[in-house]
Homo-oligomer: A and B are copies of this chain.
């Protein structure tokens, strides 16, 4: 059986999972693959921490360049994260014709274009299954399983931290702050939760999906990225009353040469499968012109699930070298196909508004008239509180499809009205 050398750069949580997975299931992988991945070197600046896995000291180095230089290592696994040292390791490995396996979503979201080009130029393979969806083989589905499809829509719950917080707000009636604190205590949220709760992590993953699905090189500006920070429990309750759950969704839709890409808290009908994806689980719903609707569900993060996908990618790379094929499946370039990001103002969807208005006769008529003047048609209205003449009360309005730019204009006018006590809360709905 052929043996293919593997070098690991970054011996953190996922790195340790990769090593222990290889130790535990390496024989099984080799039997299934007909070739054997052999871990030849592990580089990390910290060689002293206990990772819960025993490694021969001769494998360890603080110098990643030893892995790049080693002719016995054909596959480099980058698990440093970020766009600094990781970028340099990935580039050097590809330039040497080694295959690269990475879980680095930030790197591929920000520098995917140049990294994929570098891989192509050097006939080197690049595998990044674990950059989206953790243990769920969703990148593989997109690159391979659905290759014959024009991708029409993608809906993704891609961040377990947010999904956990939303679940706790929903089931325990916690405020966002309390649910975040609980998630941090449970180890499901970082001390600095910005990347997760403000939607950036989801945006990185969505950018990778949009590139694979549509060849879109996502620009750094102009993408709607709204996280769940500050989401009011009140809105989760109103959504519930209206028959919806709130999920942080990445939404990617193709419309001719335009690609709509947006990340925001979204009202999803309770009966929809995405509504029953709870806690740290992730799910991605992908529709294609041939296959119709498909869904992929599993753990979107964590040491072992993520290592599962890293090892699947390592196996691909090993098979490429063992069979003599080399660089594996290419990632198409982008930009040449004329596909572009749709301006957010042109997006049409359904809306949920929660207005804080003075409870007095004529108020609703005034608001309805502004909405009507902006082609925004009301589907339903919910006002739960008892009448409190002269005070501000919450009124929830659900609209039919309307254009984002018109909604922005209308709400500017509405929020400037004397009868309105606070900025209107806006959420979007998918059915």
Question: A residues bordering B, Cβ < 8 Å?
Answer: 17, 21, 24-25, 28-29, 31-34, 129, 135-137, 140-141, 143-150, 271, 273, 276, 288-299, 304-305, 307-309, 311-312, 315-316, 319-320, 323-330, 332
Contacts and interface: CB of A to CB of B under 8 A. Distances in A.
Contact of A276 (B144, B276, B327): B276
28 contacts: A21-B148, A25-B289, A28-B148, A28-B150, A32-B143, A33-B329, A34-B329, A135-B290, A135-B292, A136-B294, A137-B137, A137-B145, A140-B145, A144-B312, A145-B309, A146-B312, A147-B315, A148-B312, A149-B308, A288-B308, A289-B304, A291-B304, A291-B309, A293-B298, A293-B299, A294-B298, A319-B329, A320-B323
Contact of A291 (B135, B288, B326): B135
A295 B282 CA distance: 11
Nearest to A310: B148
A41 B332 CA distance: 29
A290 B143 CA distance: 23
- Across the A-B interface, the 6 shortest Cβ-Cβ residue pairs: A137-B145, A325-B325, A148-B311, A294-B298, A323-B325, A135-B291
A388 to B, nearest CB: 39
B319 A290 contact: no
A34 B330 contact: yes
A178 to B, nearest CB: 25
A291 to B, nearest CB: 4
Contact of A290 (B147, B296, B307, B329): B307
Given A289-B25, A290-B305, A298-B294, A311 B147 contact: yes
A129 B145 CA distance: 9
A31 B294 CA distance: 23
Contacts of A323: 320, 323, 325-328
A137 B144 CA distance: 9
Name, among A140, A147, A290, A294, the residue most crowded by chain B CB atoms within 10 Å (CB to CB): A290
Nearest to A322: B325
B297 A292 contact: no
Contacts of A24: 289
A298 B41 CA distance: 41
A153 B329 CA distance: 31
Given A144-B140, A295-B298, A324-B324, A25 B149 contact: yes
